[in-house]
C-alpha cells in the first residue's frame, strides 16, 4: 500500500471518529426560550455568570473559548445545550434524555 493510501485511510478514520464522538453533533435538538434551573430561570441574553449562578457548572463545555455549555440533568430529564456568543447566551436547545 502506498504512503498516500495509508494517509487517506487514517484521515478517513479520524473524520468518522470525530463526527461520531462529538456531542455537538445532535440530530434531534429543539430550540427553547428558557431553561429552569434550581436557582432561577435562564433566558436568551443572560451572561455566563448569570447562568453559572442559576444552574451551576455545566456537565461539559465545548468549542473554541467554550462557547457551548451542556447540562445533563440525568436520565429522567432532557439534556440542554447552551450556545454563547462572547459572554451572552444566544441559543438554548434541548436534546434527548440524559445519562
Answer whether residue 90 is part of any domain.
yes
76 assigned to some structural domain: yes
Which three three-digit cell numbers place residue 52? 453559572
The pLDDT score that the predictor gives to residue 12 is 54
Provide the domain count of the chain: 1
pLDDT of amino acid 19: 42
In a domain, 15, yes or no: no
User: 60-62 and 40-43: which strand pairing?
Assistant: unpaired
3-state secondary structure of 90: strand
In tens digits, what is the pLDDT along the chain, a chain of 99 residues? 676 665 555 655 545 444 444 444 445 788 899 999 999 999 999 999 999 999 999 999 998 888 999 999 999 999 999 999 999 999 999 998 888
Residue 57 within any structural domain of the chain: yes
Q: What is the DSSP string of 33-59?
A: SEEEETTEEEETT-BHHHHHHHH-S-S
- Asked if residue 31 lies in contact with residue 82, where contact means CB atoms within 8 angstroms, the answer is no
- Name beta bridge partners: 30: 94
Decide if 8 is inside a domain: no
Whether residue 45 is contained in a domain is answered as yes
Contacts with 80 (C-beta within 8 Å, 6 or more apart), sequence order: 35, 70, 71, 73, 92, 93, 94, 95
Q: What is the pLDDT of residue 38?
A: 93
pLDDT of residue 17: 47
Quote the domain boundaries for residue 81.
Answer: 28-97
Amino acid at each position: 500500500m502506498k504512503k498516500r493510501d495509508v494517509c487517506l485511510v487514517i484521515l478517513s478514520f479520524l473524520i468518522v471518529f470525530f463526527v461520531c464522538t462529538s456531542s455537538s453533533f445532535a440530530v434531534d435538538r429543539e430550540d427553547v426560550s428558557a431553561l429552569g434551573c434550581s436557582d432561577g430561570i435562564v433566558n436568551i441574553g443572560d451572561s455566563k455568570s448569570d447562568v453559572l449562578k442559576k444552574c451551576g457548572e455545566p456537565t461539559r463545555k465545548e468549542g473554541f473559548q467554550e462557547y457551548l455549555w451542556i447540562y445533563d440533568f440525568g436520565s429522567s430529564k432532557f439534556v440542554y445545550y447552551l450556545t454563547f456568543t462572547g459572554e451572552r447566551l444566544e441559543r438554548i436547545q434541548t436534546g434527548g434524555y440524559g445519562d
